[in-house]
């Protein structure tokens, strides 16, 4: 994909204004990530929770209680939502990558002498979509024979 992006950015002047390809690529990537999050009830709810705050710390049981307190009438109560803390932690681990791309970082750890499992979530308010394509302006014309 990186080679294609490099090639498309170098050729973009022929088919769109400078920077047009990167803008379209980022918009498509962001849309795909949003679709993945929307399709997963756990990831979608975490996105909703973190839209209201910058951080959350607790364990999976606490997060299940937050879900019960904020459950919406989107359909059957708990549809697609894990019933146990362990299942919720597994689903959170799966959702880490797309949520990170939206600016929500989830980390798992242990605290205290008893080694209590802790989930930490932080939301950044900056443009969270990671850049995977660099510009070609510095490469074009330098030894691409």
Whether 42 maps to a domain, the answer reads: yes
Measured CA to CA, the distance from residue 45 to residue 48 in angstroms comes to: 5
Whether 110 maps to a domain, the answer reads: yes
Whether 129 maps to a domain, the answer reads: no
Provide, for the chain, the percentages of residues in helix, strand and coil under a 3-state DSSP scheme, each rounded to the nearest 5: 50, 15, 35
Whether 47 maps to a domain, the answer reads: yes
pLDDT in tens, 17-71: 777 788 888 899 999 999 999 999 999 999 998 998 999 999 999 998 887 776 6
Tally of domains within the chain: 1
Whether 138 maps to a domain, the answer reads: no
Look at residue 25 in the predicted model and tell me its pLDDT: 83
Domain with 27, as residue range(s), is 2-123
Give how far the C-alpha of residue 10 lies from the chain's centroid of Cα atoms, to the nearest Å.
29
Q: Give the predicted TM-score (pTM) of the model.
A: 0.69
Query: pLDDT exceeding 90 applies to what percent of the chain?
Result: 43
Whether 141 maps to a domain, the answer reads: no
pLDDT in tens, 95-138: 999 999 999 999 999 988 888 999 999 998 664 544 444 444 44
Whether 137 maps to a domain, the answer reads: no
Whether 25 maps to a domain, the answer reads: yes
């Amino acid at each position: 994909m990186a080679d294609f992006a490099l090639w498309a950015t170098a050729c973009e002047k022929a088919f769109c204004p400078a920077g047009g390809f990167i803008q379209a690529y980022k918009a498509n990537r962001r849309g795909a990530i949003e679709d993945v999050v929307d399709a997963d009830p756990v990831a979608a709810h975490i996105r909703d929770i973190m839209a209201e705050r910058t951080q959350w710390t607790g364990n999976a049981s606490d997060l299940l209680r937050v879900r019960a307190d904020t459950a919406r009438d989107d359909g059957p109560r708990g549809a697609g939502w894990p019933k146990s803390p362990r299942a919720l932690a597994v689903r959170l681990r799966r959702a880490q990558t797309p949520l990170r791309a939206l600016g929500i970082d989830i980390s798992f750890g242990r605290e205290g002498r008893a080694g209590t499992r802790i989930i930490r979530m932080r939301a950044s308010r900056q443009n969270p979509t990671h850049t995977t394509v660099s510009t070609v302006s510095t490469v074009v014309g330098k030894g691409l024979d």
